[in-house]
């Protein structure tokens, strides 16, 4: 069952692009990565899903229900961590969390205690005295205290130190094991690779690919590095399937996707001194997507 269904979602800010014709589904129980550089349209998509802003055209459903029409009902089962959190500085952490909990028809006291212990968050401090990382923790507890069925995280790790990031990821994995679906947006490739089953890649407001992490990493792409004895004209390698060409004196490197025989034939036409063929990292594959249309 799809927990999130996004169909041709477009959002214009005045005349300028937010997102354009975005479509993808997130299945129940998945940890789904939403990846793209800053300004690509991740927050716009997420804010539309939460009905904080409204689509120019297209639609989206969460738990099978239209996000605009059923917003209040849907939101009861969603935990949302925005990319930037703003609070009333004067409040104590515990009072803010109790206030957040009052929107739900359940007792969240035990869960608040549990989460703040895991994240080492002092409930009796005033918000204004907290570091950025600790404010982020307040946001995390706020997003999870009502035990939502769907967790939506917009760039959640900024401000958390590596140790705390690890604890946070463990927490998410634990929730996921209980059946909770997670949508996780990030521009940091390594954390998506670690945590997610599938990803959607967004670039300049448009989805360029939706795939399993494992598929992206599989044999589709090879990284070539070729060293020649003497200087040769590498322009012959500027053909379809070859991306990210880098030439340094007698070496050329590139990412290749296509018929491996055709590229090997090209290589055999020159006098090579050395050859490396490797699996590209996920980062290198993503760079390929980002640069594809430039």
Contact call for residue 33 and ligand ADP (CB under 6 A): no
Which residue lies nearer to ligand ADP by CB, 43 or 116? Answer: 43
Task: Scan residues 141-160 and list those touching ligand ADP (CB under 6 A).
Answer: none
Contact call for residue 15 and ligand ADP (CB under 6 A): no
Question: 132-144 vs 162-177: helix axis angle to the nearest 10?
Answer: 10
Q: Residue 255 in contact with residue 213, Cβ under 8 Å?
A: no
Q: Which of 18, 79, 82, 156 binds ligand ADP (CB under 6 A)?
A: 18
Contact call for residue 48 and ligand ADP (CB under 6 A): no
Strand partners, 251: 227, 248
The least CB distance from residue 52 to ligand ADP, in Å, is 11
The Cα–Cα gap between 143 and 114 comes to 14
How many residues are there in the chain?
A: 294
Which residue lies nearer to ligand ADP by CB, 44 or 116? Answer: 44
Q: Which of 4, 6, 30, 44 binds ligand ADP (CB under 6 A)?
A: 44
Distance separating the N- and C-terminal Cα atoms of the chain: 36
Residue 198, token pair as written in the block: 């599938």
Q: Residue 92 in contact with residue 125, Cβ under 8 Å?
A: yes
Residue 137, token pair as written in the block: 């923790």
Q: Which of 5, 26, 35, 43 binds ligand ADP (CB under 6 A)?
A: 43
Which residue lies nearer to ligand ADP by CB, 12 or 94? Answer: 12
Write out the residues near ligand ADP by the rule CB under 6 A: 13, 16, 18, 36, 38-44
């Amino acid at each position: 069952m799809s927990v999130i269904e996004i169909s041709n979602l477009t959002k214009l800010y005045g005349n300028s692009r937010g997102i354009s014709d975005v479509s993808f589904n997130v299945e129940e129980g998945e940890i789904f990565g939403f990846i793209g550089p800053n300004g690509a349209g991740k927050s716009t998509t997420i804010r539309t899903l939460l009905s904080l802003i409204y689509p120019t055209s297209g639609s989206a459903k969460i738990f099978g229900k239209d996000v605009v029409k059923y917003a209040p009902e849907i939101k009861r089962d969603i935990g949302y961590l925005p990319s930037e959190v703003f609070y009333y500085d004067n409040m104590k952490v515990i009072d803010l969390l109790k206030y957040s909990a009052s929107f739900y028809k359940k007792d969240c006291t035990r869960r608040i205690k549990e989460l703040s212990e895991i994240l080492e968050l002092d409930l009796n401090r005033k918000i204004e005295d907290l570091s950025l990382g600790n404010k982020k923790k307040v946001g995390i507890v706020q997003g999870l205290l009502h035990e939502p069925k769907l967790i939506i995280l917009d760039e959640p790790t900024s401000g958390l130190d590596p140790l705390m990031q690890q604890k946070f990821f463990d927490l998410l994995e634990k929730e996921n094991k209980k059946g909770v679906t997670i949508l996780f947006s990030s521009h940091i490739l390594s954390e998506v690779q670690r945590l997610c089953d599938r990803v959607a890649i967004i670039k300049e407001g448009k989805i360029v690919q939706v795939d399993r992490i494992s598929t992206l990493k599989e044999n589709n792409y090879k990284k070539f590095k070729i060293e020649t004895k003497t200087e040769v004209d590498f322009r012959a390698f500027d053909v379809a399937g070859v991306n990210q060409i880098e030439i340094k004196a007698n070496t050329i490197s590139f990412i290749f996707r296509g018929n491996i025989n055709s590229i090997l034939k090209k290589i055999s036409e020159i006098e090579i001194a050395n050859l490396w063929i490797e699996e590209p990292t996920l980062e290198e594959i993503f760079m390929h997507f980002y640069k594809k249309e430039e």
